[in-house]
Structure 1
Amino acid sequence: MGEPGREEYKIQCFDAETQQLLKTALKDPGAVDLEKVANVIVDHSLQDSVFSKEAGRMCYAIIQAESKQAGQSVFRRGLLNRLQQEYQTREQLRARSLQGWVCYVTFICNIFDYLRVNNMPMMALVNPVYDCLFRLAQPDSLSKEEEVDCLVLQLHRVGEQLEKTNGQRMDELFVLIRDGFLLPAGLSSLAQLLLLEIIEFRAAVIYYFDHMNIQLEN
């Protein structure tokens, strides 16, 4: 994970100048404006649903390259600042563009999945990620298949990490999801299926760990 050569395939969708900027950031981060690089990646992630799912690996590679070269964190700071700015205006983003909102949630979860501090999840992102998932679990979001699909995908991706950092909020989130599943109207058949799948998945995981704990205690 994080090898620059493996990231170059993701930048073919950019114009030639931006491609060169990103290639340089991956190989020689000290030679470019890394705050500009962070903005380019975030901007494109909000527009491209495929890129938003994969950009975390590229960000990780740039952070690793910068750390080895200069021991600094200009790119990470710029990236987190932009994520915070977008987080603060997330309702406006959702109202303006549902696709942009879904891309943002996908991207911030992707970043949370890849970025580590001393091999631990980045705690600064825990509550923003939870807040985004809670928003996706509101009744008006559950009536939209794009948001339900995003909610379920991200729970599969980062749910375990989130639960380890704050299990109480995960319990609260699944109360919302279960209540949403029982809504008398407004859910499509696909949305119901996706929600049922994630509810059953978590129940199975909890049962497995409870069963293992009982065996260990005996």
Structure 2
Amino acid sequence: MGDSGKEEYKIHTFDTEIQQLLKTALKDPSSVDLEKVANVIVDQSLKDSVFSKEAGRICYTIIQVNNMPMMALVNPVYDCLFRLAQPESLRKEEEVDCLVLQLHRIGEQLEKMNTQRMDELFSLLRDGFLLEEGLTSLSQLLLLEIIEFRAADWKMTDAAQKYYYSEVAD
């Protein structure tokens, strides 16, 4: 793949050493300490909620390099998703959108690696959907959609697709 096909990541806020570590992990995950990479990504995500979306993209790319989930990244990714499933995050549409996007991308693979944590995460999401006050209509719709998506074995029927995404367009 040429340089024009490479995806750019927002890692410029890190010092040079960490930027190099992340770039290497994105190209050849087996050549770096993935636990260190995961810790860097989680720490930055906890400091900067906007970076959480970028963190998901980075982890997804690292996982895809070998076409299989990397065990070293599973728990840190779950940690980020749990952070996004907290009540204060569920009240922010951007964070709900990020959470749902990441679950669409890697939820099925994460569940295969640790079903118990996925069950705990979705318990939080259901409680948030049902009990949390102050959620926007879009956040509620996104949460319901991802709950149904998982319940349907990480697939979406044409009818569900039409319902959820025609509602968003309205």
Q: Confirm or deny a common fold (TM above 0.5).
A: yes
Q: 1:104 to 1:11 in 2, by over 3 A?
A: closer
Letter in 2 for 1:102: K
Alpha-carbon deviations, 1:86-111, whole Å to 9, x = none? 323543x13xxx32233223322442
Please name the residue that 2:50 is paired with: 99
Please name the residue that 1:146 is paired with: 94
Contact 1:115 1:122 in 2 (8 A): no
Secondary structure, counterpart of 2:153 in structure 1: helix
Q: CA RMSD in A?
A: 3.5
Contact 1:115 1:121 in 2 (8 A): no
Q: CA deviation at 1:12?
A: 8.0
Q: Is residue 110 of structure 2 the alignment partner of residue 186 of structure 1?
A: no
Corresponding pairs, count: 152
Selected match of 1:135 from 59, 69, 83:
83
Tell which structure's C-alpha radius of gyration is larger. 1
Q: Is residue 37 of structure 2 the alignment partner of residue 37 of structure 1?
A: no
Q: TM-score, normalised by structure 1?
A: 0.58
Instruction: State percent identity of aligned pairs.
Output: 53
Q: 1:139 to 1:125 in 2, by over 3 A?
A: same
Distance in structure 2 (CA, Å) of the matches to 1:12 and 1:170: 29
Q: TM-score, normalised by structure 2?
A: 0.72
Alpha-carbon deviations, 1:157-201, whole Å to 9, x = none? 111111111111111111000001013421111101100101111
Alpha-carbon deviations, 1:62-113, whole Å to 9, x = none? 329xxxxxxx82xx34x7534322323543x13xxx322332233224423x
Letter in 1 for 2:95: E
Gaps of 5+ in 2: 11-15, 156-170
Secondary structure, counterpart of 2:58 in structure 1: helix
Q: CA deviation at 1:9?
A: 3.7
Higher helix share: 1
Contact 1:106 1:150 in 2 (8 A): no
Distance in structure 2 (CA, Å) of the matches to 1:174 and 1:105: 18
